[in-house]
Amino acid sequence: MRYPVNEIFETLQGEGVYTGVPAVFLRLQGCPVGCSWCDTRHTWQCLEQDRVPMQQIIGISGDKAQWCELSVEELVAHLTDGRFHARHLVITGGEPCLYDLAPLTEAMEQQGWQCQIETSGCFEVKTSDSCWVTVSPKEGMKGGYELCASALKRANEIKYPVATEQHIANLKALLAALPPEHSPVVALQPISQKPRATALCIEQCIKNNWRLSAQMHKYLAID
């Protein structure tokens, strides 16, 4: 299995359940979902003209469309060669679930790492049994994809982007459709940190006993 890698860098997880945890982010290239507020639009297309050598990817963070193709073995070697302190791997994108992530997550867990996937929920999640899956449901986006039922059932955490009351209603409908035995952590994330959206999220978190995901890294201006 080989993956188109956009960047690999170490920072703090700024969102969801693992907020504040040191993490290595592995960002994969390619996403057809088309979210209007996406802050990583440079990862949408995987063009041959943007392919670069591996040295321009490892340990480098930046909003560029460049990518290199790495195997599971190459990724494990670079992630575990001592350059990183964190032992929490966040696989994001783009849309990481365009790819089979089971070989990579299983290999990293064998090295003693914890893995997390951040996905739109529009594609089947292929990963290890122990991987923490964060689904940030993207409905009605430009790409026209519907949510994947199996992805929602696999979610350990549903991190829902919110700007209006309608988003809250959509979330409640989504949660009501889940199997009764499945109760993922629910976190509300204000879209673009707008004050009205943030106030709405706080209000609804208190009412429903949900969590707030305030994108700490953006408030602190860290990568």
Q: Which residues are annotated as a binding site for [4Fe-4S] cluster?
A: 31, 35, 38
3-state secondary structure of 198: helix
- Within 8 A by CB and 6+ apart from 63, the residues are 40, 42
Q: Which residues are annotated as a binding site for substrate?
A: 12-14, 27, 92
Rounded Cα gap, residues 108 and 130, in angstroms: 11
Q: Which residues are annotated as a binding site for S-adenosyl-L-methionine?
A: 37-39, 94, 136-138
153: left (phi over 0), alpha (psi -120 to 50) or beta: alpha
- Within 8 A by CB and 6+ apart from 54, the residues are 68, 70, 74
Q: Which residues are annotated as a binding site?
A: 12-14, 27, 31, 35, 37-40, 92, 94, 136-138
Rounded Cα gap, residues 133 and 157, in angstroms: 6
Q: Which residues are annotated as a binding site for Mg(2+)?
A: 40
Rounded Cα gap, residues 76 and 70, in angstroms: 10
- Within 8 A by CB and 6+ apart from 223, the residues are 9, 11, 61, 217
